[in-house]
Amino acid sequence: MPAQDLPSPGRLSPGTLFVSATSPLANHTTIQSAIASLPHDATAHTILIAPGTYIEQLNVTRPGPLTLLGQTNAPFPNGSAPYADVHSDTDHANEVTVVWSRANADSTGKITDNAVTSVLTVAPTWEAALTGTGPTGYPVSPSTPPGSRDFRLYNVDLRNLASDRSVGPALALGWATRALVSTAAGTNTTFPNKYGAYISSSRVIAANSTIGAAIEGQCPLGRPWNALHRSVFMNSYLDASILPAGYIQWQDTDPRFDAATTLEAVYRNQGPGYDEAAMGGSNVTTVLNDTSVEPYASPRDVFMGWEGEPDDLSWIDNRVLRV
């Protein structure tokens, strides 16, 4: 729906809520309040979001299908490339932006990255969202039900302004495509798994030009919470804020990195922040080739069920991502 066509309650499809910070026609003024108002069941719902900047953290725990749809005037100019073109460093962006800038600190006062600092969390419970966000993880009852099996986000930019100059904490576990990730100041199972964060055909850029100049070459693509970390940036645009070496270890004295189990990888990215030689020589970042990327090349390759079986991918919108 074009941004200039503000919906009236009677024009909304059943199961749809309208969010706007300014429109008197809105059901909610914040996205999270709309999410929280939905029933905790298997029914499908859509939240239509008016253009603007929303300073809030989004936490989705409902099991049923949920789509967050940002209004935009130009999703596909000339019927071709998406407006937020991942292959350039232009200012083109979606017209709905969600910003979160709350930092978390440990007992020494050092800023740490976990579910408290993320812009978007999709998990069955808040406790489940905290699992793995530290060196020892967070206890979650074995009876915890699955979270949403059909969550979709369209035409929305997520900006994390609270991380310690690390790109990784802004990302959710799963697969992101045609996404924008902005910079600022694995799981253990009884079966072989490919759990991790996979970022494909996206843009990783500084939140604005002022921040970009201040953090040029300083932002790691991520660092491991533990030695089972797995993440891959592929076919994406990396701006000049990215550290030439790519990923880093947790700390010099506490690396939480094991070359046999940790995968911090890149594949065929582009932009001024993609220095393949420096990344390959870092002894931390793995530069994948056409063969070694195959196990992680698409959602079909990495998504799996609770027991390691192939997962149902029918929920993926093939207009956006072929699997």
| Residue 29, pLDDT above cutoff 90 | yes
- Please give the residue that has the higher pLDDT: either 189 or 234: 234
* 210 and 157 belong to one structural domain: no
* 8 and 136 belong to one structural domain: yes
For residue 180, is it within any domain?
no
- Which one, of 267, 182, 284, lies nearest residue 276 by Cα? 267
For residue 168, is it within any domain?
no
Task: Indicate the average pLDDT of the chain.
Answer: 78
Number of domains within the chain: 2
Average pLDDT over residues 30-58: 94
* 157 and 197 belong to one structural domain: no
- Please give the residue that has the higher pLDDT: either 116 or 219: 219
For residue 314, is it within any domain?
no
* 241 and 299 belong to one structural domain: yes
* 208 and 136 belong to one structural domain: no
Average pLDDT over residues 301-311: 79
* 158 and 22 belong to one structural domain: yes
* 5 and 152 belong to one structural domain: yes
For residue 318, is it within any domain?
no
pLDDT > 90: percent of the chain:
35
* 21 and 142 belong to one structural domain: yes
60-64, 202-206, 275-279: the lowest-pLDDT one: 202-206
Range of the structural domain that residue 135 is part of = 1-162
Digit-coded pLDDT (tens) for 238-286: 999 999 999 999 888 999 999 999 999 999 999 999 999 999 999 999 9
Q: What is the pLDDT of residue 170?
A: 38
Last residue of a domain, one of 118, 146, 162: 162
For residue 186, is it within any domain?
no
* 241 and 95 belong to one structural domain: no
For residue 21, is it within any domain?
yes
Q: What is the pLDDT of residue 184?
A: 44
Q: What is the pLDDT of residue 167?
A: 47
Q: What is the pLDDT of residue 106?
A: 58
What is the domain-level CATH number for residue 249? 2.160.20.10
* 1 and 114 belong to one structural domain: yes
Average pLDDT over residues 182-205: 71
* 200 and 149 belong to one structural domain: no
| Residue 44, pLDDT above cutoff 80 | yes
* 220 and 157 belong to one structural domain: no
Digit-coded pLDDT (tens) for 274-293: 999 999 999 999 999 999 99
Average pLDDT over residues 82-100: 63
